Amino acid sequence: MKIGIKGINRASATVTVALTAGAVLAGSVFAATAQAATPPTPTIAAKGGYVMNNGTAKTLFTKAADTRRSTGSTTKIMTAKVVLAQKNLNLDSKVTIQKAYSDYIVSKGASSAHLIVGDKVTVRQLLYGLMLPSGCDAAYALADKFGTGTSRAARVKSFIGKMNASAKSLGLTNTHFDSFDGIGNGSNYSTPRDLTKIASSAMKNSTFRAVVKTKSTKQKVTTKSGGYRYMSWSNTNTMLSSYSGAIGVKTGSGPTAKYCLVFAATRNGKTVIGTVLASTSATTRTADMKKIMDYSFKK
């Protein structure tokens, strides 16, 4: 009996050693696989960047995410957000295009929706003109329409005040607006993290989502004489056509801002949203965004 027991013990020990070695080997394989599955953090040309999971608000990528920078026309995300937050908003109400709007475009050399003085354009159409071709004339028209005051200057000031109030309500401490379109006077700034949060909040609105995912549109507007004309606008956000799952949101650029982009995409039920600020060119900001979005979807 003793001999039998010793034999069994030796066999058990051999099996145990074999199992342990197998477990170690398997563990090493799993560890290597897990390590290989973790993508390297991408390097981007933009001075600032941030991406988060839109569903959980988890940070997925960050580079100088809380450094204040000029935002260019990505400011218009907040412009649209403020308009869409108005009580009893009628998207089909019409706004008469004023000469002041076109004069502003000329004086600033600003991006334009090419609105025609005297035309009557709906609020919904102005939102398309704001977000697709990045029309500063459309931004001016909306600020004039939804600000309060007896003069145009007072209404614009009021509207910008609403933009800042909205930023404050989101708990953003690194964002300030001094313009309705991003052509600031020295104190129009935000951060990649703050802009991403603004866009995430704006994307909760169905009208906003519909506008910013539109690649191009043709809108019928009423002319001064009572006739009509068609306005055709294409989206400056080229990633809508080149990135799988793209759903928005806005480009921006300027002498100080350089090249900016706030972007969102959905894949396999996961939506990620992010911002790059102060990239070196339109091509580079797209490359930057693709890198950090691809990286974020893998995390």
Residues 6 or more apart from 90 whose CB is under 8 A from it?
123
Distances (CA, A) of 2 to 8, 9, 13, 14, 190: 10, 11, 16, 18, 81
Alpha-carbon dihedral sign for residues 66, 177, 127, 279: negative
Alpha carbon distance, N-terminus to C-terminus of the chain: 59
| Cβ atoms 44, 152 nearer than 8 A | no
Q: Which pLDDT score is estimated for 25?
A: 45
Please, what is the Cα angle at 52 between 170 and 131, to 5 degrees? 65
Average pLDDT over residues 49-72: 97
- pLDDT class of 28 with cuts at 50, 70, 90: very low
Residues 6 or more apart from 294 whose CB is under 8 A from it?
39, 42
Q: Which pLDDT score is estimated for 44?
A: 97
pLDDT > 90 fraction of the chain, expressed in percent and rounded: 85
- pLDDT class of 38 with cuts at 50, 70, 90: confident
Mean pLDDT of the chain: 91
Active-site position among 63, 70, 76, 112: 76
- pLDDT class of 37 with cuts at 50, 70, 90: low
- pLDDT class of 186 with cuts at 50, 70, 90: confident
Active-site position among 70, 73, 112, 166: 73
Q: Which two three-digit tokens encode residue 11?
A: 């066999």
Instruction: Please confirm, yes or no, whether 76 is among the known catalytic residues.
Output: yes
Average pLDDT over residues 126-154: 98
Active-site position among 70, 111, 112, 134: 134
